[in-house]
Amino acid sequence: MRLLLGSLYTFIIAAGVGLGSTWFALTHGAGFGTLRVGPWIAQPKAGTADIDPYSRAVIARSGALPVSLGDGVAFRARVDDQGQLLDGRCEVTVSGTTPPARYFTLTLYDPDGRLVANSLNRHGFTSEELYRNQDGSFAIAIAPRVRAGNWLPTGGVDRYVLVLRFYDTSVGAATRAEREAPMPSVKRAGGCR
Amino acid sequence: MTRWLLWTLAGVILGGIVHLATILMLPRTASQDAYERLTPITPVNAMTPIPGPTPAKALLPFMDPAFAMAVCRYDLGHGPMKLTAPVSQAYTSVTFYTKLGVAYYGINDRAAGRRTIELYLMTTAQHDRMPEDEDVTAADRLIIESPGATGLIVLRALSTEPGLMPMAQAAVADARCLTQSQ
């Protein structure tokens, strides 16, 4: 009786710990070789045959095709520089410079990876489309209402994700520090609607 | 007391095994991975243009809307495959994925050179069966070994501004993936 009760208890703990940690790893983006620069997160190795099992599971579950390292590197941000979740009812400015790359694109998605509907039908910018300052730096206003210059509409959604992809770039699996990959800042600007 | 502590410890260790097993098993059981999503609209061994993502409909999550895309869902069971793709104006890349979505090889137009990208895809066994002399003439041919018989070739062409999208789409529509007789 004691043995039965004990093993039942063990199995319940095993199921809780095992499935709980799997769920946590898949939803919180655990993975090896993660490159963090400010709020931006990239997993360059997820675009190679050396992909770790966690990234493999995340990709299989989502149905996305990762950017291969021979193509480029994708950085994701779901928070701003202060660590606050990106909110489509507020205004955020993405500004600064980017690591060397032939082209880059910035795209706004909802947390499930869908584009967000807006009146302008604009879902992102390519590096060629941006209005830039004389020194080559840029500022993109991500806001629910019209802004002058580079305006990326949020469509007023409550949560969104920014993906900054660099194509034909020197950023890769060997990149470790911010000095090698100077990423733009993501700052809350002004209030919320 | 000690007995329950031991039971708990056993549970945690078993939980760790459950965790590893589920993480490793998941890619094989996922029914909504990229390959499964693309299967209904892509014939085998033919390059098929994929409609770009819109807020209402996107075939795959997190597609880059600045790119025109075409997919060749390949099966090397009938022989190796030759991929030819014209290089578009801005930027073109080719990525090879296994059936489970692992990007095992990727190359861009600058690395591939010339005006068209020409690649040969074969399994390791097919590569080994290639005659020696052909291997010599093949020195300047780019040969890629697929880890399995099936997978995806994804061709992407960048449209640097929305007005150039038709050109990028035309470039990927001209790409071909053809089975070579052995």
Q: Is the dihedral of CA B14, B16, B21, B23 positive or negative?
A: positive
- Of A127, A123, A162, A166, the C-alpha closest to B93 is A166
Query: Could you say which of A60, A127, A168 has the minimum Cβ distance to residue B27?
Result: A60
pLDDT band at A22 (very low <50, low <70, confident <90, very high): confident
Tokens of A110: 């909802």
More confident site: A47 or B139: A47
CA distance A76 to chain B (A): 11
Residue A30 has a pLDDT of: 58
**Chain B, 80-99: which have a CB under 8 Å from a chain A CB?**
90-91, 93, 95-97
Query: What is the average pLDDT across A178-190?
Result: 85
- Of A46, A189, A103, the C-alpha closest to B106 is A46
Top residue of A126, A162, A163 to mutate, by most chain B CBs within 10 Å, is A126
A81 touching B (Cβ < 8 Å): no
Sort out which chain B residues have CB atoms less than 8 A from A54's CB and list them: 23
- Of B59, B160, B41, B152, the C-alpha closest to B106 is B152
B114 touching A (Cβ < 8 Å): no
Residue A183 has a pLDDT of: 92
- Among A62-76, A133-147, B106-120, name the one with the lowest average pLDDT: B106-120
Tokens of B80: 């190796």
Sort out which chain A residues have CB atoms less than 8 A from B26's CB and list them: 22, 26, 56-57, 60-61
More confident site: A70 or A173: A70
CB B52 within 8 A of CB B65: yes
Residue A35 clears pLDDT 70, i.e. is over it: yes
pLDDT band at A175 (very low <50, low <70, confident <90, very high): confident
Burial track B74-87 (b if 16+ CB lie within 10 A, e otherwise)? bebeeebbbbebbb
What's the pLDDT tens digit per position in A85-129?
999 999 999 999 899 999 999 999 999 999 999 989 999 999 999
Residue A170 has a pLDDT of: 86
Whether residues B160 and A128 touch (CB distance < 8 A) is answered with yes
Whether residues B61 and A63 touch (CB distance < 8 A) is answered with yes
- Of B149, B96, B64, B24, the C-alpha closest to A60 is B24
Query: Could you say which of B32, B65, B107 has the minimum Cβ distance to residue A63?
Result: B32
pLDDT band at A168 (very low <50, low <70, confident <90, very high): very high
Residue A81 has a pLDDT of: 93
Q: State which residue of chain B sits closest to A66, comparing Cα positions.
A: B103
**Chain A, 3-62: which have a CB under 8 Å from a chain B CB?**
6-7, 9-19, 21-22, 25-26, 46-49, 51, 53-54, 56-57, 59-62
Assess: ipTM above 0.90: no
Q: State the Cα–Cα distance between residues A55 and A23, nearest whole angstrom.
A: 13
Whether residues B65 and A124 touch (CB distance < 8 A) is answered with yes
Residue B164 has a pLDDT of: 93
Q: Which residues of chain B have pLDDT under 70?
A: 113, 132-140, 182
Residue A29 has a pLDDT of: 62
Q: Is A20 helix (H, G, I), strand (E, B) or coil?
A: helix
Whether residues B53 and A114 touch (CB distance < 8 A) is answered with yes
Instruction: Give CA separation, B101 vs A63, B28, B92, B95, in Å.
Output: 8, 11, 20, 11
